Structure 1
Amino acid sequence: MTVPASRVRRRPRTPGRLLPLLLATALLLPVAFLVVRGHRLVDADRELAARERLGVEYLRALGPVTEALMDAQSAAVAGRPVSRDALDRAVEQAATVDSRIGGELRSTERWAGLRAKLEGLPSRSLTDPEAAFTAYGEVTDLLLALHGKVRETSGLIRDPGSDSYFLQDGVGEEMPEAMVATGRLVDLAVLAQRRPAAEQARTVGELAALRFAALQPAGDLVDDLQTVVDTSESAAIGAEVLTPLDNYQRAVEALAALSRPTGRTQELDLTKLAGARTQAQSAVRELQPVILDELDRVLRQRLDQLDRDGLLILGAGGLAGLLLVAFAASGWLSRRSDTPGGRRTAPGGPAEATEAVPWEPPARPDRRPDGSVPVLQPAGQSAGPERWRPFDAAR
């Protein structure tokens, strides 16, 4: 007799099915963290580069103001009529730039104070050249301070690039300082001819100090630009900078030599000094737009690279996420296909069956038309008359 097999229920394999999903989730979290972190760093660098471009724009507007202010100072010290047209135009252009980007660079307050001083300068030459020299000196100090403020708040002073750092240092600090010191040196030489002999010793000391103040930033400017020319991959910067740079260097050296009093009378050749200053200003006028254009080009190129880096980070993060999701989905589906779903096995079959087939009695043979049940014959025997003859004989 066949004994019915017991029904065996297998415990669901939920932990095995959840393992790929848990593993994919565990890997997805650090990937998401790295993507977000990298994208934030790229955004911070991009904001810095964009703000630096605003600083370049502001420095471009301050260049004409510096040149016009030094020309007005020279006219006031020499007793010539002061033309305010060039200075007023430069001030209006700078005011337009400040009204647009001064709030972001936090330079509006300093510009307002400088503009008030500029507008307060007399339109006519002062009767006292010494007073004019002092008054213009206060304004130029404020102008140099504004240059430094723009470099600081725009981030130019902390630029991470080699070429861009030397470019911004040269055009934002060394160049305006050299222009102001050069103008003061020539104007003090003019004043020295009018001072009494008792003040000659003091005048010689002041000339030496201004000569050093003009030579130091001029030398630093030459070094900065020479470094950029030697290391930059741009061929245009070298061709456009070398000629005006050589002219500027020669003009500054001539100024330094001509500002040393010679002879017993300690006289200076004011005509040659003025010519050397004009040559230096002309070289600066050529250098400044070239440097600013190159600096802006480097920053724009950096912005483009940062945009590409941001897209690469997002693309790599998205691809990693899709791969992890695909890994989790494939693991989940493979586990489901391996798990028996309602499969039955015969009694005594493998132990891995979910449930055994219950025992059922053998099927009864079909009844005859008269209702009797045919006798089952053993295998190998026939149901004919020969089978019953021994039984009939015994009876």
Structure 2
Amino acid sequence: MTVPAPRVRRRPRTPGRLLPLLLATALLLPVAFLVVQAHQFVDNDREVVGRERLGVEYLRALGPVTDALVDAQSAAVTGRSLRRDTLDQAVERAAAVDARIGGELSTSERWAGLRAKLEALPERSLADPETAFTVYGEVTDLLLALHGKVRETSGLIRDPGVDAYFLQDGVAEEMPEAMVAAGRLTDLAVLMNRRPTAERIQSLSQLATLRAAALQPANDLASNLRAVVENTESADLGANVLTPFDAYQRAVETMALHSQPVDRAGTVDTTRLLAARNEAQQAAKQLHPVLLDEIDRLLVERLDGLDRDRLLILGAGGLAALLLVGLAVSGWMSRPRDTSAASAGGGVPAGGVVPPPPSGIQWGAVGSRPVEPPPALQPVGQVHEPDRWRPFDAAR
């Protein structure tokens, strides 16, 4: 009697084991692409916010230059002694800022032209106040153009935040324009009182134009600050802004009132007008750093949010990569179940005793299945069953 040999287990094919690895790799590539793209978007946003903070720093340096230049213009027109120390110190600080970040903001060329004009201003008051008014007017125009350049190249003018946009619009455009226009308004009033009556009356239209130029940006600044104070989440902004802003608004209204002629000859009360301008300028000096600090605070909060987004992106990408790698490794290391010959019916039972084959079954060669005998052939045609005993056969 021959004993059937156990079945030989087949080795798993390599392509079948590579399939989970290929699927995991195919899923890992788009996940990595999305993570890299999201990370680049966050880095670009961080770069934009960083550039805006450079613009805030540059505007902070231009504020003292604006105040000192307006004071120097008023001193030159009225014939008072010039205080060049204040203007020179403000120019030096602004020059240091431009030397550090002017190349990135593309403001070095404009600052070089403005600085040349500032240094060319005379040490003493000009003999002709009318000439001084014209010369300083050209320099202040260059200064206002530099403010606009900083807003544009730093991206502050395109800031997506509502609060930051209104704040930068007020501190970088409306406030400098209002202060320069207020200085020109008071200086023109001083010049008008020195002119003959006929020329004084002709200058009333120019005075009205400067009055509107001083009031329009001040009103726009008031609207912007009111909207920011009502919608801001900062608890300190309202208290820090409202006090100097109220003083500034009252001074501007008083300045507009005293810029009106007091008689038919076109005479203006320059004493009260100069006092109102000084009050407005002092309030603007207090308001300027507060607004810049608030803009910088909003930008810092945005940077913190971008840092959190970057960490979340990297964490999600790393977790997805670990899961896919784990699936690939588990698919590669897994093996098919060991189906032994005993479970298939061809192995040797426990104890080593081979049971005899059933009757009528013969074993073939080693390792082959048992051979059953062929079925018996039946005759073709009608099949007659063998005779059986009938009830009356016994009586025969």
Structure 1 partner of 2:393: none
C-alpha separation in 2, matches of 1:345 and 1:358: 18
Q: Deviations over 1:273-331 (max 9, x none)?
A: 00100110010011011111111111112112211211111111101100111122222
Structure 2 partner of 1:27: 27
Using the aligned pairs only, state the percent identity.
Answer: 69
* CA pair 196-18 structure 1, distance change in 2 beyond 3 A: same
Structure 2 partner of 1:284: 284
Does 2:366 correspond to 1:359?
yes
* CA pair 278-308 structure 1, distance change in 2 beyond 3 A: same
Paired AA for residue 308 in structure 1: R
* CA pair 338-197 structure 1, distance change in 2 beyond 3 A: same
C-alpha separation in 2, matches of 1:346 and 1:130: 114
C-alpha separation in 2, matches of 1:6 and 1:286: 97
Equivalent positions of 1:169-208 (< 5 A) are: 169-208=169-208
Structure 2 partner of 1:117: 117
Structure 2 partner of 1:331: 331
C-alpha separation in 2, matches of 1:54 and 1:347: 79
Count of residue pairs brought into register by the alignment = 352
User: Partner of 1:280: helix, strand, or coil?
Assistant: helix
Structure 2 partner of 1:376: none
Shift of 1:22: 2.2
Does 2:156 correspond to 1:156?
yes
Q: Is this contact kept in 2: 1:4–1:347, CA < 8 A?
A: no
Structure 1 partner of 2:76: 76
Equivalent positions of 1:1-395 (< 5 A) are: 12-334=12-334, 337-338=335-336, 349=346, 359=366
Paired AA for residue 279 in structure 1: E
Q: Deviations over 1:195-243 (max 9, x none)?
A: 2233234311111111111111111111111111111110101001101
Q: Is this contact kept in 1: 2:200–2:265, CA < 8 A?
A: no
Shift of 1:141: 0.5
C-alpha separation in 2, matches of 1:347 and 1:311: 55
Q: Is this contact kept in 1: 2:73–2:136, CA < 8 A?
A: yes
Structure 1 partner of 2:371: none
Q: Is this contact kept in 1: 2:174–2:221, CA < 8 A?
A: yes
Shift of 1:132: 0.5
* CA pair 3-226 structure 1, distance change in 2 beyond 3 A: same
Q: Is this contact kept in 2: 1:347–1:358, CA < 8 A?
A: no
Q: Is this contact kept in 2: 1:7–1:358, CA < 8 A?
A: no
Q: What is the root-mean-square deviation of aligned Cα atoms in Å?
A: 2.5
C-alpha separation in 2, matches of 1:358 and 1:200: 133
Structure 1 partner of 2:355: none
Q: TM-score, normalised by structure 2?
A: 0.83
Paired AA for residue 50 in structure 1: G
Shift of 1:18: 2.7
More deviation, 324-333/98-107: 324-333
Q: TM-score, normalised by structure 1?
A: 0.83
C-alpha separation in 2, matches of 1:349 and 1:259: 116
Q: Is this contact kept in 1: 2:12–2:336, CA < 8 A?
A: no
User: Partner of 2:264: helix, strand, or coil?
Assistant: coil
Paired AA for residue 35 in structure 1: V
Structure 2: segments with no counterpart, 5+ residues: 348-363, 368-396
More deviation, 161-170/108-117: 161-170
More deviation, 256-265/7-16: 7-16
Shift of 1:349: 4.5
Shift of 1:86: 0.6
C-alpha separation in 2, matches of 1:28 and 1:151: 43
User: Partner of 1:193: helix, strand, or coil?
Assistant: helix
User: Partner of 2:261: helix, strand, or coil?
Assistant: coil
Shift of 1:41: 0.8
Shift of 1:264: 1.3
C-alpha separation in 2, matches of 1:253 and 1:358: 118
C-alpha separation in 1, matches of 2:99 and 2:344: 92
